[in-house]
Amino acid sequence: MILLLAIIAFVSLLGILYSMSNQKVKFHYRNLTAIGIGIIFGWGLYEFIPQEVYVDLKFYMKTISNIYIRFLKLMIVPIVFISIAHTLVNISNDSNIGKRIGQIITYFVVSITGAATLAFGMANLFNFENLIDVSKVSAETISKGYANRIDTLGDASLGKVIYGFTQNIPTSIFQAFSENNIIGTLLVALLIGMAVRRMSAKKPKEMGLVIRGLDSAKLIINSMTMTIIKLTPYGVFTLMTIAVAEKGPSLFGDLAIFIVVSYATMLLIFIMHMAGLSTKGMNPIKHVRNLLPAIITGFSTQSSGATLPVTINCLEDNNGVDTETANIAASLGTTMGMNACGAMWPVFMIVLSVGVNNALGLAPIDLLSPGTLFTMFISVIISSFGIAGLPGTASFAAITAMTIMGIAPEVMGMVLTFVLSVDSLIDMGRTATNIFGVSSAATFISKKDGLLDMEKFKD
């Protein structure tokens, strides 16, 4: 009887979100509502539903979240492939695509360094080295989800890690697509796009068919993605409900300081980008408002890749960024330049792991020594390239950075286990921050090159 009542309540709340959609309530307001009622409903389940009943209820709820997450993952590769290939074949003949990509990557590296600096300052200010009580976390509690990756990289040198990135080069086009290899997909799209551009002068009729096909494919892929994104409020509600129902107050209590500092750091990263845009005479508040749909969609989906069509739309239609810069920056930003996942999170994990390492009496690490600081920043920059724009992948970037730092695998496992319960909650903010940083890069470069439509930006 209790299970039936819980299912009815769950379906009723889904019905409320559906009703808001029929009433044309703005998408980002529906997502925020989904987060709010997910927290309230999840807390209610934690307090009032017996554990054995919740175990059965969870499968009903996970059915909704599983559909949502798997559909999101389904669209990542086609979105990235079509966006890059379509952009390359449609750019003007006098465009210097190599220079544009170089500018974008340079901005990414600079912003990653800035974000890592902010994260390191906040981690030291709030004494992250002593945040984990090693007496409560043992080596046997290593997070199972990361065990294989940790074991694989545990004895890796910097050279091996860099070499490992070359393994992302696919040996077949179908391999890149079937394995959801974002870097491989980018490479295939770049090769095809450049080939079509070269052949257009020699075979304009044949290449015209290919270009029109890419135009049609982009329309279809964007339409498919927007259909899936409409499921976001239901997926977010379910994911938030499960997270709170399983941890209850401890989700916000035991790691409250860590959560607050994480979001405070992400706010500082926002301010860093806003300050950069203000040097170009742009209103930073207006910039945030123009990007709000993409920021909130990213917060809800926890996926830069799934939010890609919304990000590009906001950049072009709201911010006035030229099509070439918007598509290239946003697409590259699904696998690099992520200020929160690629900079803040690895730095936090390194500082936490150094504290655990020293508390366990292992070979001491002086986090403030010049050599250690240099290695940390280099490791963070390297690990920030090749991240998949999917939920939860920030921890793999952190593992790579910690490996380069020489952190023992058992220490990595203890640190990742410590933060695992709040990873999803923080990942929402991380994704929003990533999208804002990548969008700021596109806007900054478009304005610097005199290609930004200020009338759209101000409208």
Res 335: pLDDT: 81
Evaluate whether residue 323 is within a structural domain. Answer: yes
Within a domain: 200? yes
CATH code for position 101: 1.10.3860.10
In a domain, 54, yes or no: no
Let me know if residue 391 belongs to a domain. Answer: yes
Helix (H, G, I), strand (E, B) or coil at 410: helix
Residue 16 lies in a domain: no
- Rounded CA gap, 99 and 448, in Å? 13
Q: Give, for 201, the enclosing helix (H) or strand (E).
A: none
Q: pLDDT for 225-245, tens place per residue?
A: 788 878 888 988 888 888 788
Domain, as residue range, for 160: 78-222+248-458
Task: Tell me whether residue 90 is in a domain.
Answer: yes
- How many domains, the chain? 1
Backbone region of residue 68 per phi and psi (left: phi > 0; alpha: psi in -120 to 50; beta: other values) = alpha
Q: Rounded to the nearest 5°, which phi and psi values hold at 388?
A: -80, 140
pLDDT of residue 2: 84
Tokens of 305: 């890749």
Cβ neighbors of 396 (< 8 A, separation 6 or more) are: 146, 149, 387
Nearest-angstrom CA–CA distance, 290 and 457: 8
**401-412 in b/e burial notation, b at 16+ Cβ within 10 A?**
bbbbbebbbbbb
- Average confidence (pLDDT) per 10 residues, the chain, 459 residues: 88 92 84 87 88 87 86 80 81 72 93 96 92 66 51 53 69 79 80 86 85 89 83 85 75 75 96 95 93 84 80 90 88 88 94 89 85 90 74 78 83 83 84 95 93 88
In a domain, 121, yes or no: yes
With 0-12 CB in 10 A as exposed, 13-18 as middle and 19+ as buried, what is 50? Answer: exposed
pTM over 0.85: no
